[in-house]
Amino acid sequence: MSAPPPRVTHGPGEPYVGTSVPRVEDQRLLDGRGRFLADLAAGALSVVFLRSTEAHAVIESIDTTRATDMPGVVGVYTGNDLPLARDYIGSLHTPDPGFVAATGFRMPEQRLAILPVDRVHYVGQPVVALVASDRYLGEDALEAVDITYRPLPAVLDPSASLAPDAAPIHPHLPDNEAGRIEVEFGDDVAADAVAVTVEGTYRIGRHGAVPLEGRGVLARVDGQRVSVWTSTQIPHLVRQGICEATGWSVDAVRVVVPDVGGGFGTKANVYAEEVVVPVLARLTGHDLVWVEDRQEHLVGSAQGRDQVHRTRLSVDREGRVLRWEDDFLLDIGAGGLWVAGVVANTAIHLLGPYRIPRVRLRGRAAFTNKTITAQYRGAGRPEACFALERSLDDAAGRLGITPVEIRRRNLLTAADLPYAQPLPYRDGVPIVYDGGDYLRCLDSVLELLPAETVERLAAEHPDLTIGHGVGCYIEATGRGSFESGRVRLTSTGGFEVASGAASAGQAHETVFAQVAADGLGCSLELVTVRRSDTDLVRHGVGTFASRSAVLAGSAIRRAAEQLLDQATGRAAQLLGVSPDLVKSTASGFAAADGSSEWEISWADLATACAPGGAQEQLGPLDVVEYFHPETVTWTMGAHAAVVGVHRGTGAVSVLSYAVAHEGGVEINPQVVEGQVIGGVAQGIGGALLEQFRYSPTGQPTSTTLAEYLLPGTCDVPDVQVRHLGVATPCNPLGVRGAGESGTIAVSATVAGAVEDALHGLVRVSETPIRTGPLRAAAEQIRREGQ
């Protein structure tokens, strides 16, 4: 076992980037002083939503008369009562034309109604909004809303949905296809070169983020403006969604993000509730709040994964990949505003960190009558990784080489990198993996968790049959188009930093402060990072897709440098010296000309540019920067797991786990490590436990945390993380995204380890891995005394 990664501490005069300074938000969050959405609700009336109880049905009538007369009810609203310019929320991503041309990508416009009046498409879809003096009376009154549904057959399988005779789920989209992509390159392979071809069908179950804090929206009307607090990762896109649906000007809507207790992609979405609550606030003139409860969350918040891959992989005698084909289906439920992202992510990441000369991929996204989907942590990458890595394990087994060996023979090495793929990325820029040495990650993870660990753990756990698995992933991170960063000198000589990339708990208050302090050359204590607010930064995109450190970090760095540059000139002017004599210090500026020394603090500068100050006419020191990356930067990593399968029950325990990843510069190594470990925990949930299930009629059956199983501390072992930093030239910080690195390869890695534990008697081709089918194999191994 190797030692844990070094904790780099910060010394005087050194840069903050690269040091594990403690998270400044932790004190507040851990001692209960966090201010989450529900903490802001005092004084607001409650909005409650009546949600569809049908998976697919025509709404024959909605009668709100009885409910309107119930105690405490202010109003009951259907979709017909909302003054909307457009009754649906538009796509959150428009594909680049170059990417479309290269991949045949297409997706139709989705028009899932904000509050439907004629047809419902999934159980949990909001249908009626009710405003009441409190939530108790609101929920009582909901029971008095009478809706008559005429049920339609529910479509729950993506293949059935795309079949030619399938009934349309959305009447304007008769083929039920939500998105399509095709990727093909390389010359066909000579038949005699192929030693082994493996075919497989891989299913990745539907699961999702299930953050500690659910969603919630608070709206307050102030004159002509509406302010909206929402538990989101993407305040500016929420503002856009509200404005497009209502016709309000962006200047009339302010979106503020309070403390957020986890997002993981389910909150990187724009929801009907985020439109309805501000609309009703304006309609009623009251401050209104809606706080999602856990039952609503498990049926009404966007879910993820749910893919089927039909694959074919050919390798030569040495195990070198010759040809890789995958025809995959995504079940996006009743809708997904990020369908372009998930479809394209899946296809692109199917290329893996390997040399693959011949590729043919086809992906189709299907509508079904399940809950809506969004980009859950990984967003297509874990699914692609599962299909490719499982196929590699299968091919290795057939060739009689180890899973490690087949990867060793195919991984891109220092000699191959940077490596161009004959395909543009989603931004239209040709894909070039800007990595250092991917093979080194595999070697590293095996140092952390060698296959020999199996023997030691087998001796410790006689009831378990033990196996070792590996999985490799690649991840495009830091996608554009841009992110904002603002740095402002405050009146007391401190700095405020703001960005469109909202924090859902990822330590933005710490890492953005580190970046800004380095750019300003000031002490970290002078910097405060504000929560995201569209009034603080007028433009932004948000936090998702491992992009915040790369994009927001870079924007903040540049804003800080510009502010320092401007301030240096102003300090020189105030001191009456030439700017090249002025040096920045931890607290301001100093200048010396050999005989005299001068100092000026940041507070002095703030006073100078305030009204009545010597530099009043120059205005405040306040810089907004937009960072537009040329294209994405790539993170690669390798995972290894040792699992035990119980000989009597088939239950799977993950005993040991390691991740070696090639990220970029780490702004805060401990934060990155936390991201990776948390990602592994979520990955283990998806691999072994979590699944949103549905009855044959489309009723969700995972509607409490007794059915939707989340991993607990007992289910997640200590995770060893090794960072192999390779700075990227793609951004001024040299950082690569790491938010999804921990999650992507977990299902593939655990599945490989389970197969190894069961001596190949079972093929694991779906997640979550069910324990029942494993126990017969475990029993056979026990009987044979292996």
Structural tokens at position 413: 């090495």
| Contact pattern from residue 91 through residue 130 relative to another protein, giving x for each residue in contact according to CB under 8 A and a dash for the rest | ----------------------------------------
Task: Give Cα 524 distance to the centre of its chain.
Answer: 28
733 touches 672 (CB < 8 A): no
CB-based contact 180:95 (threshold 8 Å)? no
| Residue 4: exposure state from Cβ atoms within 10 A (0-12, 13-18, ≥19) | exposed
Minimum CB separation of residue 775 from another protein in Å reads 7
- In degrees and rounded to multiples of 5, residue 76 shows phi and psi of -125, 130
Q: Cis before residue 133, ω within 30 degrees of 0? A: no
Beta carbon of residue 209, minimum distance to another protein (angstroms, whole number): 17
Task: Select 114 or 753, whichever has its Cβ closest to another protein.
Answer: 753
Find out whether the peptide bond into 548 is cis, omega within 30 degrees of 0: no
Q: Select 295 or 615, whichever has its Cβ closest to another protein.
A: 295
Can residue 722 be called a binding residue for another protein (CB under 8 A)?
Answer: no
CB of 139 to another protein, least distance (A): 5
Cβ closest to another protein, residue 32 vs residue 772: 772
Tokens 């992906």 — which residue?
363
Q: Choose the binding region for another protein from 107-115, 292-300, 577-585, 628-636 (rule: CB under 8 A).
A: 292-300
Backbone angles phi, psi at 319, to 5 degrees: 90, 10
Please say whether the beta carbons of 454 and 642 come within 8 A. yes
**Residue 579 vs residues 523, 605, 610: alpha-carbon distances, Å:** 22, 15, 21
Question: Which CB sits closer to another protein, 42 or 714?
Answer: 714
Kindly give the interhelix angle for 669-684 and 746-757, rounded to the nearest 10 degrees: 60
CB 306 within 8 A of CB 208: no
CB of 203 to another protein, least distance (A): 16
- Nearest approach in angstroms of CB 131 to another protein is 16
For residue 148, the minimal CB distance to another protein (Å) is: 20
Q: Please identify which residue in 40, 102, 689, 748 interacts with another protein, judged by CB under 8 A.
A: 689
Sketch the per residue contact string, 384 through 413, with another protein: x for CB under 8 A, - otherwise. Answer: ------------------------------
Distance in Å, CB of 130 to another protein, minimum: 13
Closest CA to 346 of 366, 330, 367: 330
Considering the rule CB under 8 A, would residue 697 count as an interface residue with another protein?
Answer: no
Q: How far is the CB of 697 from another protein (least distance, A)?
A: 16
Give the position of tokens 């044979």: 784
Shortest separation between residue 374's beta carbon and another protein, angstroms: 23
At 200, give phi and psi (nearest 5°).
-155, 160
Phi–psi pair at 178, nearest 5 degrees: -95, -15
Please select the residue that binds another protein; options are 81, 157, 184, 293, rule is CB under 8 A. Answer: 293
**How many CB atoms within 10 Å of residue 267?**
30
Taking alpha carbons only, the member of 318, 317, 314, 312 closest to residue 409 is: 318
Report the C-alpha gap between 630 and 497 in whole angstroms. 24
Residue that the structure tokens 């009885």 belong to: 66
Which residue type does 60 have?
Answer: E
Residue 690 beta carbon to another protein: minimum distance, rounded to whole angstroms? 10
Question: Counting contacts by CB under 8 A, is residue 649 touching another protein?
Answer: yes
Beta carbon of residue 385, minimum distance to another protein (angstroms, whole number): 24
The minimum distance between CB 135 and another protein, in angstroms, equals 6
Site for another protein in 340-369 (CB under 8 A): none
289 sits in which H/E element: strand 288-291
Q: How far is the CB of 709 from another protein (least distance, A)?
A: 5
AA identity, residue 370: K
The piece of 230-238, 394-402, 412-420, 648-656 that touches another protein (CB under 8 A) is 648-656
Q: How far is the CB of 426 from another protein (least distance, A)?
A: 37
Which residue type occupies 54?
Answer: E
Q: Counting contacts by CB under 8 A, is residue 715 touching another protein? A: yes
Which is closer to another protein, CB of 610 or CB of 710?
710
Residue 9 or 713 with smaller CB distance to another protein: 713
The residue within the footprint of another protein, chosen from 711, 717, 725, 752 (CB under 8 A), is 711
* Environment class of 503 (CB within 10 Å of its CB; exposed 0-12, middle 13-18, buried 19+): buried
Least distance from another protein to the Cβ atom of residue 780, Å: 13
What SS3 state is found at 399?
A: helix
Task: Report which of 175, 172, 108 is spatially closest to residue 337, judged by C-alpha positions.
Answer: 108
Q: What is the DSSP string of 31-79?
A: TT---BGGGG-TTPEEEEEEE-S-SSEEEEEEE-HHHHTSTTEEEEE-G
Q: Is 294 in the site for another protein (CB under 8 A)?
A: yes
Tokens of 258: 């309070």
Q: Rank residues 74 and 541 by Cβ distance to another protein and give the closer one.
A: 74
Query: Which of 93, 135, 206, 364 forms a contact with another protein (CB under 8 A)?
Result: 135
Is residue 706 near another protein by the rule CB under 8 A?
yes
Nearer to another protein, 461 or 693 (CB): 693
Question: Residue 528 or 771: which CB sits closer to another protein?
Answer: 771
| Residue 146 binding another protein, by CB under 8 A | no
Pick the binder of another protein from 22, 153, 712, 760 (CB under 8 A): 712
Q: Are 88 and 112 in contact (CB under 8 A)?
A: yes
Select the residue interacting with another protein from 714, 783, 784, 786 (CB under 8 A).
714
> What would the x/- binding string for another protein be over residues 608 to 647, using CB under 8 A?
----------------------------------------
Closest by CA position to 201, among listed 328, 305, 307, 311: 311
Stretch that binds another protein, among 184-192, 274-282, 706-714, 721-729 (CB under 8 A): 706-714
Choice between 65 and 704, CB closer to another protein: 704
Distance CA 172, CA 68 (A): 33
648 binds another protein (CB under 8 A): yes
Count CB neighbours of 440 within 10 A: 19
With respect to another protein, which residue has the nearer C-beta, 135 or 309? 135
Nearer to another protein, 296 or 475 (CB): 296
For residue 234, CA distances in Å to 1, 264, 312, 372, 534 come to: 41, 12, 38, 18, 10
What residues have CB less than 8 Å from 577, skipping those under 6 apart? 591, 593, 598
The correct pick among 52, 702, 728, 765 for binding another protein (CB under 8 A) is 702
Largest separation between any pair of C-alpha atoms in the chain: 90
Listed ranges 86-94, 104-112, 139-147, 281-289: which one lies at the site for another protein (CB under 8 A): 139-147
The verdict on 295 binding another protein (CB under 8 A) reads yes
Question: Shortest gap between Cβ of 713 and another protein (angstroms)?
Answer: 9
Size of the site for another protein (CB under 8 A): 28
**Residues from 764 through 783 that contact another protein (CB under 8 A):** 771-772, 775
Asked if residue 140 binds another protein (CB under 8 A), the reply is: yes
Report the residue number, 627 or 692, with the smaller CB distance to another protein: 692
Residues written for the chain: 786
Nearest to 165 by CA among 176, 157, 156, 154: 176
Residue 69 binds another protein, judged by CB under 8 A: no
End-to-end CA distance of the chain: 27
DSSP 163-177: STTPPPSSTT-TT-E
The answer to the question of residue 761 lying near another protein (CB under 8 A) is no
Min CB(650)–another protein separation in Å: 8
* Residues contributing to the site for another protein (CB under 8 A): 135-136, 139-140, 143, 293-295, 648-649, 651, 688-689, 693, 701-702, 704, 706-707, 709-712, 714-715, 771-772, 775
